[in-house]
Amino acid sequence: MRILVTGATGFLGSRTALLLKEAGWSVTGGGRDPQAGARLEAQGVPFLPLDLRDGAAIDRACSGMDAVVHCAALSSPWGRYRDFYATNVEGTARIAESCLRGGAGRLVFVSSPSVYFDYRDRLLTRESDPPARRPANAYAATKLEAERVVAACSERGLAAVILRPRALFGPGDPALFPRLMRVGSGRGIPLMKGGAALIDLTYVDDAARAIIQACTAPGAPGQTLNLSGGEPRTLLAIMTRLSELLELPLRTRPVARPAALAAGSLLEMAYRILPLPGGEPPFTRYSVAQLAYSQTLDLTEARRVLGYAPQVGVDEGLRRFAQWWRSSR
């Protein structure tokens, strides 16, 4: 079975490509980072330079594939809407259309549960629950639009599956915990309501295994499925345990949620108007809100359709992350 993984030089894409290889698939990893591509090739996964703006290159990459896993995306708390749209919507449209033209047996599109987020607590959110009426940021807006593109191609005959993995972490994490640790090493992690917000983490290999299951599960095409570890913990509990594993002091500071959200909005406004250093604000309204509101997912459909069963719990995942973090420093 031949399979293309886009975004294979990224966090989730690389783990997916490597686990697919271990499972016996003939994998090609597509991406834009040649150094990360060389690391993939050293582990036995052929690397193909791939730019989502290049329709002809995408057609060549997808040709003859039994399945395509589309992990590539522009994922950032800050940036220009047109850049997010070009990558997340137009790039996904090129992938989906190429799969239709080339006869790929299945497309697995990695979306995001940020499409639900509307600045309030949402617990055990189901796929049938409506997305936010006003997307929280450009990333969420363009991921939702990309889902609509994929759904439209499904109606034209593409066997497509949409996955929404929540808060990925594990060895190699480039974003979630490194960002929190940078904040913690400065003024301290802001705790709103005592750090009581529930975070629904997903260990990266569990998400990758779900992707592999989605490539072959008979009932998966046409489905949109939530993914998480199914083990929500409070922000304070997570960071307390991580600080213990890393043997680092946990620095926190109490912050009022309305004040923190207002500060994020003001920073966004300032960075849009003024040529400030760094190019992006130190935090945004959205990044503050991720620490302020509880967000958990219902996994009933993923369990039913994929037989999804996370294998790495939060404690073990944090231990593996901490071990990697120490060894890589």
Q: Which residues are marked as active site?
A: 139
**Computed from CA positions of residues 250, 284, 93, 86, in that sequence, does the dihedral angle turn out positive or negative?**
negative
Residue 209 and residue 200: Cα distance in Å, rounded?
Answer: 18
Closest-CA residue to 162 (of 249, 95, 242, 223)? 223
Q: 19 near 205, Cβ under 8 Å?
A: yes
